[in-house]
């Protein structure tokens, strides 16, 4: 059963003016300006705000309703006593006398709308195929896109994934419905963030005898707390003790696959990069893995530790700011 609520369902009220940071009396120009500014701020391709995508959708939905004087008037008619987040139920016949369907020219944006929006303004058809194809016409199906989240380790080893996709399909009455289907997909070894896998014939169905479209899966990596990826190269911070950096050491370090024995050369400074050739993401040629040295300072929290630092202070005659003088 779908999650969608009927027209009499209860949902949270959305204050579209507050979303755009506007008062109810805002002019159409103010709405446009506020929307443009926030759309640039939260556009998922541009923004690094953590909740950019959700905010962008919210701002888009608010703009959708308020930029059009008809939908704005209908929304305003529900009154200003509602507060964002309140349980809301559309009043009976709230939309009598308004006609919204098929008004929008800027479709193609298959954004999802909130339950609140859908209850009031209906589900927007998005970019559906036209329904009025004469019999005997053949055309290829639409290409579809989806995103797949994988771990860095999956790129090292390859993986098999089952992916659930929501496919828009037209039901018998010509209405748009979401159909879920599961695809089992091989994630090839060596795949990188942002690359696309093309699955031929797994997109939208063709028209008549036209071939089915393709499905493109965009690869995204789950954020990894330890490793950073640059193309095929992988970086990680490797903490070392001051004496390991100064005297050299042989230590065990993690890699995305297992661990490796690493030699720290004597006299290593913080920020020094040690390259593990070919230990990056596999490929032709494979990437490299880099350990970026970070010198960790042991705390002076015992008498012995303080004594050790004092000995260093006496014996080293070391001025770390010598180069700032003179």
Partner 1 sequence: MHETITTYLRGQVVEEELHLTLTELCQACGMAEEHVTTWVFEGVLEPFGQLPQDWQFSGPSLRRARLALRLARDLEINPAGVALALDLLDQITELRTRLGRSGKS
Binding site for partner 1 (CB under 8 A): 36, 39-40, 43, 45-46, 56, 60, 106, 108-109, 127, 140, 142-143, 145, 160, 183-186, 188, 191-192, 194-200, 202, 213-214, 216-218, 228, 230, 235, 237, 270-271, 273, 290, 292, 294
SS (H, E, C) the chain: CCCCCCCCCCEECCCHHHHCCCCCCCCHHHHHHHHHHHHHHHCCCCCCCCCHHHHHHHHHHHHHHHCCHHHHHHHHCCCCCCCCCCEECCCCCCCCCCCCCCCCCCCCCCCCCCHHHHHHHCCCCCCCCCCCCCCCCCECCCCEEEEEEECHHHHHHCEEEEEEEEEEEECCCCCEEEEEEEEEEEECCCCCCCCEEEECCCCCCCECCCCCCCEEEEEEECCCCCEEEECCEEEEEEEECHHHHHHCEEEEEECCCCEEEEEECCCCCCCCEEEECCCCCCCCCCCCEEEEEEECCCCCCCHHHHHHHHHHHHHHCCCCCHHHCC
Shortest Cβ distance from residue 283 to partner 1 (Å)? 8
Nearer to partner 1, 3 or 48 (CB): 48
Nearer to partner 1, 7 or 196 (CB): 196
Shortest Cβ distance from residue 165 to partner 1 (Å)? 12
Shortest Cβ distance from residue 44 to partner 1 (Å)? 8
Nearer to partner 1, 78 or 199 (CB): 199
Shortest Cβ distance from residue 28 to partner 1 (Å)? 15
Nearer to partner 1, 5 or 241 (CB): 241
Shortest Cβ distance from residue 217 to partner 1 (Å)? 7
Nearer to partner 1, 237 or 257 (CB): 237
């Amino acid at each position: 059963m779908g999650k969608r609520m009927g027209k009499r369902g209860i949902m949270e009220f959305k204050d579209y003016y507050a979303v755009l940071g506007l008062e109810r009396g805002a002019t159409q120009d103010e709405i446009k300006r506020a929307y443009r500014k926030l759309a640039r701020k939260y556009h998922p391709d541009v923004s690094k705000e953590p909740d950019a995508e959700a905010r962008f959708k919210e701002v888009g939905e608010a703009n959708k309703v308020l930029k059009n004087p008809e939908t704005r008037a209908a929304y305003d008619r529900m009154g200003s006593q509602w507060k964002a987040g309140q349980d809301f139920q559309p009043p009976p016949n709230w939309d009598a006398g308004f006609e919204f369907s098929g008004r929008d020219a800027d479709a193609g944006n298959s954004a999802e709308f909130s339950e609140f929006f859908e209850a009031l303004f209906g589900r927007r058809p998005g970019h559906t195929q036209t329904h009025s194809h004469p019999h005997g016409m053949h055309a290829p199906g639409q290409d579809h896109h989806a995103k797949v989240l994988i771990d860095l380790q999956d790129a090292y080893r390859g993986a098999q994934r089952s992916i659930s996709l929501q496919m828009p399909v037209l039901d018998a009455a010509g209405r748009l419905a979401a159909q879920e289907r599961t695809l089992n997909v091989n994630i090839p070894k060596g795949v990188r963030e942002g690359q696309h896998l093309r699955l031929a014939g797994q997109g939208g169905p063709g028209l008549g005898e036209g071939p089915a479209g393709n499905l493109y899966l965009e690869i995204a990596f789950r954020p990894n707390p330890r490793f950073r990826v640059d193309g095929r190269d992988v970086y990680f911070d490797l903490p070392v003790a001051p004496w390991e950096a100064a005297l050299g050491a042989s230590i065990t370090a993690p890699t995305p696959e297992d661990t490796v024995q690493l030699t720290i050369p004597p006299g290593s400074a913080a920020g020094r990069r040690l390259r593990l050739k070919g230990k990056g993401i596999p490929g032709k040629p494979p990437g490299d893995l880099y350990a970026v040295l970070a010198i960790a300072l042991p705390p002076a929290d015992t008498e012995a530790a303080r004594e050790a630092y004092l000995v260093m202070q006496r014996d080293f005659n070391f001025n770390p700011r010598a180069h700032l003088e003179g």
